[in-house]
Structure 1
Amino acid sequence: MKATAIAHPIQGLAKYHGMRDPELRLPYHDSISVCTAPSHTRTTADFESDREADVYVVDGEELSGRGEERVRAVVDRVRKLAGFDERVRLESENSFPSNVGFGSSSSGFAAAAMALCAAAELDLSRPEISTVARRGSSSAARAVTGAFSQLHTGLNDHDCRSERIESELEDELRIVAGLVPAYKETERAHEEAADSHMFGARMAHMHGQIAELRDALRSGDFERTFELAEHDSLSLAATTMTGPAGWVYWQPETIAIFNRIRELRDDGVPAYYSTDTGASVYVNTTEEHVDRVERAVSECGVDTHVWEVGGPARIVDDPLF
């Protein structure tokens, strides 16, 4: 019982922050994201009847501590759904840098959930598999369904699952990723989210923002979609910076990119910046303007990648072992 899956990481557009249930990873509110390709995680899972213990390897290193616990939560959920207790060997590789704000946990747990469910011979839809991936990372639920997706909040797996939002922007969008390699700690930021005095204000406007963003995607309104994403990045930063630990993820290069994108926009270029929990920056633009935007971002002294919209997690015939 062996299977391999690929999943693309997400860029948060209306980002979740904090969890009402950290074990099941149930977020306080809905969230919407877009998957980025060709960046991806590839994962192979193999349930073996004669194996004595689980083994989890990511980018050549065996996991321990909190990383191991998070993978085990996904594996245990699959074992429960499958009705067996076989041990598993799971190996994963990323095609892009991790722990720098590019969503490696989303693609990692999405690919793991997809591969594990296939290896366990579970016949599940992608929204159902998204509830498995969510136990490792809430953002991974959206990486399972792919492209533009919305994770609905809820208190159980029937409600708290991801669905894809169809949008004509899938073909038009180009994402210039500016790599600012500053390590970040997302887990701790989520743990203290509700302790920020800005958290209540964020909660108050998220419901309306989700509705507006979903409508903008459905209608193919590029400017409204990514203006909302840009504003959400500022709102998230305000919440993390005003928590007990005073998290400040942005670096000088981050701010330089923000300012350069504003200058481009003043010059008529459709470009909007966005950040997740980290210093790296996504710049959302169109195919027509992507070369100019990439030059502008690279002039800020950072490495760049140009990505398109990635599809859902999928099974492939290219195992890691």
Structure 2
Amino acid sequence: MSAVTARAHPNIALIKYWGKKDEELILPVAGSLSLTLDAFATTTSVELREGLAEDRLELDGLVRDGEQLARVSAFLDHVRSLAGASGRAVVRSVNEAPTAAGLASSASGFAALAMAASAAYGLDLDARGLSRLARRGSGSAARSLVDGVAVWHAGTDDESSYAEAVPAPPMGMVIATVDGGPKAVSSREAMRRTVQTSPYFSAWVSSTEDYLERMVTACRAGDFTTIGQLTEAHALRMHALIASTEPPIRYLRPRSVEVFDAVAGLREDGVEAWATADAGPNVAVLVQPQGAAETAARLAAIVGVDQVRVVGAGPGAHLLPEGCEVPPAPGTGTQE
């Protein structure tokens, strides 16, 4: 059969997901809330091919094996189990954002894979079912199935852990790329270390539940100031938690902290801007549309003009029309 192609965008968590209570089902210890972006997309195709002894993965123009292939194959095994199928697949995927650099390429990657694979294997899933499926590949991928602002309900089992949309005021982000390279410690490994070694983990769980309740209320009320305050405070709490592991893990770089300080300076000058960072050094600044240009200009003075991008709220994962192909990997000119 011909390839099925899907596109998904990363999401940046405003209330963070950090820590699992079930590793196999990828159930989080607490709920979270995010903004799906309209940039840094992942485009993924799944082609069922007769005669393959094992799945094949091409990521960003290169054939991959080892842990990356194993993770994709395990996800496809789950899809095949749901579909009652056994055929192997060729998966081609290209990230517009740097892979594994803290810009949620895992979320967009597995959201796109969930959408394409479910269609290729003939599954008929509703929005909740697709979100639950994407979660099995990467927890935060559950939120990238949703347009705009999404709340991921922690749930107690596979059925009850999914993401859905939440109404919110108009807002976007200014992304400051401090370092586009891969992380030395993956999010998955850092989460495990945090759960096992941080003395503050139980307090993180209870405070996150409180923050999430307040954040959903603020979103529904259109209260951007409270949304921003909660966003920045929760990000700093998460990075403090990560730093409390044994051995300590530190994702933020000195330049990341410079960006946080610049954002605080923007607020002093009357521009409502609030900084956040996922598990990596790159900083996303939550803004109202009218504050995006000034925020971008201020951050460009720190990280460079070519490292700053203004983005808006984006669509959830979706299938592309038949015949659409995965684009060439950035910088290659051709798809290998």
Q: Deviations over 1:125-150 (max 9, x none)?
A: 12201111111110001001232111
**2: CA distance, partners of 1:266 / 1:140:** 35
Aligned equivalent of 1:122: 123
Displacement of 1:267: 1.1
Shift of 1:73: 2.4
* Larger displacement relative to structure 2 (71-80 or 106-115): 71-80
Partner of 2:44: 43
Deviating 4+ runs (over 6 angstroms): none
Give the TM-score of the pair, scaled to structure 2: 0.91
Residue in structure 2 matching 1:312, options 313, 316, 320: 316
* Structure 1 residue aligned with 2:331: none
Structure 2: 5+ residue stretches without partners: 327-334
Q: Is the 8 A contact 1:127 1:145 kept in 2?
A: no
CA contact (8 A) 1:43 1:90 kept: yes
Answer yes or no: is the 8 Å Cα contact 1:131–1:157 preserved in 2: yes
Determine the C-alpha separation between the residues in 2 that align with 1:66 and 1:29: 27
Q: Secondary structure at the match of 1:299?
A: helix
Q: 1:99, 1:155 → 2: CA distance?
A: 28
Q: Percent identity?
A: 31
What is the deviation of 1:52? 2.6
Residue 177 (structure 2) aligns with: 179
Contact kept in structure 1, 2:228 and 2:286, CA below 8 Å: yes
10-19 or 66-75, which deviates more: 66-75
Q: Which has the higher strand share?
A: 1
Give how far 1:294 is off. Answer: 0.2
After TM superposition, list the pairs within 5 Å mapping 1:57-206 onto structure 2.
Answer: 57-167=58-168, 169=169, 172-181=170-179, 183-184=182-183, 185-194=186-195, 195-206=197-208
Q: Quick check: 2:154–2:160 contact (8 Å CA) kept in 1? A: yes
Q: Distance between the aligned counterparts of 1:69 and 1:190, measured in 2?
A: 20
**Distance in 1 (alpha carbons) for counterparts of 2:68 and 2:26:** 15
Task: Give the secondary structure class of the aligned counterpart of 1:80.
Answer: helix
Cα offset, 1:27, TM superposition: 1.1
State the shift of 1:62 in Å. 2.2
Distance apart, 1:37 and its partner CA: 1.1
TM-score, length-normalised on structure 1?
A: 0.95
1:92-129 deviation line (CA, Å, top 9, x unaligned): 00112222211100000000000001111211112201
Deviates more, 1:197-206 or 1:234-243: 197-206
Q: Report the 3-state secondary structure (helix = DSSP H, G, I; strand = E; otherwise coil) of the residue aligned with 1:43.
A: strand
Letter in 2 for 1:183: P
Q: Which moved more, 1:36-45 or 1:147-156?
A: 147-156
User: 2-side partners of 1:226 and 1:218: how far apart?
Assistant: 14
- CA distance in structure 2 between the aligned counterparts of 1:236 and 1:121, rounded to whole angstroms: 39
Structure 1 residue 282: Cα displacement: 0.3
Match in the other structure for 2:227: 225
Which blocks of at least 5 consecutive residues in structure 1 are unaligned? none
Residue 248 (structure 2) pairs with residue 246 (structure 1)? yes
Residue 225 (structure 2) pairs with residue 215 (structure 1):
no
CA distance, structure 1, for counterparts of residue 230 and residue 167 of structure 2 = 18
1:25 matched residue in structure 2: 26
User: Is the CA contact (8 Å cut-off) linking 1:100 and 1:180 kept in structure 2?
Assistant: no
Across the aligned residues of Structure 1 and Structure 2, the Cα RMSD in angstroms comes to 1.4
1:280 matched to 2:278: no
What's the offset of the Cα at 1:166?
2.3
Cα distance in 2, alignment partners of residues 163 and 77 from structure 1: 22
Tell me which amino acid in the other structure corresponds to 1:319.
E
